[in-house]
Chains A and B, each alone.
Chain A
Amino acid sequence: MARWSLRRPSFWQIVFVIILGAGLYSTVIRFTGGLGASTALSDAFPWGLWVGFDVLCGVALAAGGFTLSAVVYIFNIERFRPIIRPTILTAFLGYVLVLVALLFDLGRPYRIWHPLVMWNPRSVMFEVAWCVMLYTTVLALEFSPMVFERLRLERPLRILHALTVPLVILGVILSTLHQSSLGSLYLIVPEKLHPLWYSPLLPVFFFISAIALGCAMTIFESFVSARAFRKRLEIDLLADLGKVSVVALAVYLVLKIQDLAGRGVLHRALEPTYEGRMFLAEMLLGVIGPILLLSLRRIRMDHFGLFVSAVLIVLGFIMNRLNVSITGMEASSGVSYFPSWTELSVTLMIVALGFALFGVAAKYLPVFPEMARLPASAPTEPPAVAALRRPWIGTTPLVLLLGGLFFVGAMGSAYSGLRYRERALAAAPPHEEEEPEIAEGLERFEIPPDVTFPQGEASPGPVTFRHASHLNWERPDCTSCHHEPFRILKGFGSTAPSSSRDWHDERHCGRCHDGRTSFSVKEDCTACHRP
């Protein structure tokens, strides 16, 4: 069996190998050519896909972990215990992958430890750095029982068991801080981030949307692992998580509308602009659509319906983070950013590694410990009663209809946004500047002092350079001579007039005194050399 799978790799294995190959190639480019060679980033746009997707979305993967561990360990709602381990594994992997992404994105990744010893408590980035370090440690500890159980190490297991509640409390606190601080990062750019996304409530929005995403990711990965490992789905539990998602999204929606209206920018969501349409797309896809779908019990309890809703939430969430970090920052930056293929392939590689690591862990560690073999057979109703209950439209078509509607609507909105941007870029008038007014400055112009070059050995006499006779009086331009080697600063370098140097060559006086621009240095010596 094993030999067979070696010879005939599955479709996903082939995809994985291709993604890994491209990613590794890009890694080489990144670390041998620098950020300029490997990214589409620039001085005007210093943060791109690696921050917007890998970091902002990767951290949010942990939201399922802290939400569920709070529910199970702190609120003692035991029902959810069966799905807590996969969410902790996801959270841990999310953070590890964020660390990997940071190593790519930081200009000097080998200094990633600097925030440990070089403190600036006034920096949100400092808070983010500490949250990453501490919460990765907490998650590693929360994850480690799976390893210890596998290795049958009783002592560390007992210690960790005693530490569970403090660890979970610490984890929830750190995670809350971290999710919200990613939003706080953008509080410092009130004039740069588009008002549809800039808000004093950014940290709150980031936190609430992370909870919704955490639940959605748990649903999503439960479906994927159920398929991959042929496990039974805990559909009741997952449907309840769907409910939590709806509550979080509804709070988010209400707050968002209140916030936009309060700042007087609600109308901009409907404006026919790039930002307006991208905002609508994000809200349709990730907030309004899933709220509607998951509010219907029929869809929530349906495998396909729940899965589609979770996917919509995840897509909408990704779109929100990219909108904050990229779409909303483009207008003020004056450039448009689209990630380079190296950025894309590194990101894809990191995502693929996440899936692969999850698969390996799920295969070799007790991630799904209390898994029932077979679904309990449901009590059957008489066919007549079932027929009465049958709705006017099947659940699957309903999900396809509603989910498709929101997906297509969002994509259409995003597409029209892109078109608006194209048109706006094309309509920008060519930049032309009138000739500046300098009369008043010229009146104040102080002619720099004359410079006397002492007489050399074979020289017919000393030379006095007069700035006054070397100036274009209508438009003085110091840079025509004051490039090297004619230094402009006093006491710098070797520009002190000296007789030991030959000033006639084409780098010095000969540059203009060549017989064309002005008389040649080879003509009448006494024009400059006055005995």
Chain B
Amino acid sequence: MGGKMGLLFDATLCIGCGACYEACKERNGLPRTVAHFLEDRLSDRTYTVVKKRGGRFVRQLCMHCEVPTCVSVCPVGAFEKTAAGPVIYHEARCIGCRYCMLACPFGIPKYEWGKILPRVRKCDLCADRVAAGRPTACAEVCPTGATKFGDRQALIEEARARLRAHPQKYVPRIYGLEEVGGTSVLLLSDVPFERLGYRTDLRPEPLPLLTWQVLQKIPNFVVVGSVLLGGIWWITNRRREVRLREREEQEARRLSASESQEGP
């Protein structure tokens, strides 16, 4: 079976060396974008960055949600959450509506704005490497173990162990354990996560539930609505027919009455 894989990033261990940044660029064949990697931001040519935030170095990359918003919102199913953990993109399906970009709670999908035939770009958790049983490029090169690749469940255990071992150091929370239903990328930190630039107001329920609650009512709505409208039409139409018939009968009665008067 081999559970879903993921990453554990520990902000207390990151030294901002940029190895993950370079490894990501290299693995994805991405061009150089800025003079120094700390100035970079996520874009169609940069899938992970290291940022100075709140007195720590912190990484940004796709969180690979357990119930991904991008997978749910894409009208043509261009995103897929694989059993191994990565959320991947099938570019041949994409129509370019950019709903994934609007909807992603972490603001991860980026667009090739400069191209005539643009694609959505983001980290794919090195899906090919993970499928081959290897760690992601960023985790492979990390010299301090700040980015660690592994089975998500095992990483959660490890994060809990670190929290237990150093309760006075860490913020007592694993970021990504519950956010929008959980993510494959988990974070530990000794400064509040919002200071690292991570939203802490995200709900524990997956966002797709919000739209699914409405969407699942559609079949009932169509059936009940059609029957209701059909019924109303039948009643109003019948009423009109009756009215017409009554008028005709009155007319006929009047005619026959006048005839019978004239008759004999």
Contact = CB atoms under 8 A, between A and B. Distances in A.
Contact of A444 (B118, B145, B214): B145
Given A41-B113, A46-B111, A478 B98 contact: no
Contacts of B23: 488-489
Contacts of A504: none
Contact of B101 (A43, A180, A482): A43
Interface in A33-84: 33-37, 41-44, 46-47, 70, 73-76
B83 to A, nearest CB: 18
A381 interface: no
A106 B95 contact: yes
B1 interface: no
Contact of B143 (A111, A127, A187, A446): A446
A32 B114 CA distance: 11
A108 B214 contact: no
Nearest to B19: A478
A438 B94 contact: no
B21 A475 contact: no
B20 to A, nearest CB: 9
A41 B218 CA distance: 32
A44 B107 contact: yes
Interface stretch (B52-60, B151-159, B254-262): B52-60
A172 B229 contact: yes
B140 interface: yes
Interface stretch (A116-124, A366-374, A401-409): A116-124
Nearest to B232: A74
B95 A489 contact: no
A47 B98 contact: yes
B59 to A, nearest CB: 12
B101 A442 contact: no
Interface stretch (A18-26, A188-196, A300-308, A454-462): A188-196
Interface string B105-143: 101001101111111000000000000000001001101
Nearest to B140: A489
A482 B23 CA distance: 9
Interface string B24-55: 00110000100011000011100000001101
Given A169-B230, A444-B144, A445-B143, A489 B210 contact: no
A444 B147 CA distance: 12
Nearest to B14: A441
A155 interface: no
B69 A188 contact: yes
Contact of A76 (B57, B103, B107, B237): B237
A107 B118 contact: yes
B96 A106 contact: yes
Interface residues of A, number: 86
B113 A177 contact: no
A442 B113 contact: no
Nearest to A443: B144
A161 to B, nearest CB: 14
B165 interface: no
Contact of A477 (B17, B101, B117, B201): B17
Contacts of B57: 436, 438
A479 B218 contact: no
Contacts of B94: 107-108, 111
Contacts of A107: 94-98, 111, 117-119
Contacts of B198: none
Contacts of A76: 233, 236-237, 239-240
B161 interface: no
A32 B107 CA distance: 28
A437 B16 contact: no
Contacts of A453: none
A493 B27 CA distance: 10
A292 interface: no
Contacts of A180: 214
B27 A489 contact: yes
A359 interface: no
Contacts of A46: 98, 101-102, 111
Interface in A174-194: 176-177, 180-181, 184-185, 187-192
A128 interface: yes
Interface string A79-122: 00000000000000000000000000111110110110011111
14 contacts: A43-B107, A44-B107, A75-B232, A76-B237, A106-B95, A114-B95, A118-B76, A124-B73, A124-B215, A203-B214, A434-B52, A442-B144, A475-B15, A478-B143
Given A74-B232, A108-B94, A112-B95, 14 more contacts: A43-B43, A46-B98, A106-B95, A115-B75, A176-B225, A180-B214, A184-B214, A189-B103, A442-B144, A476-B15, A483-B22, A488-B23, A489-B137, A489-B141
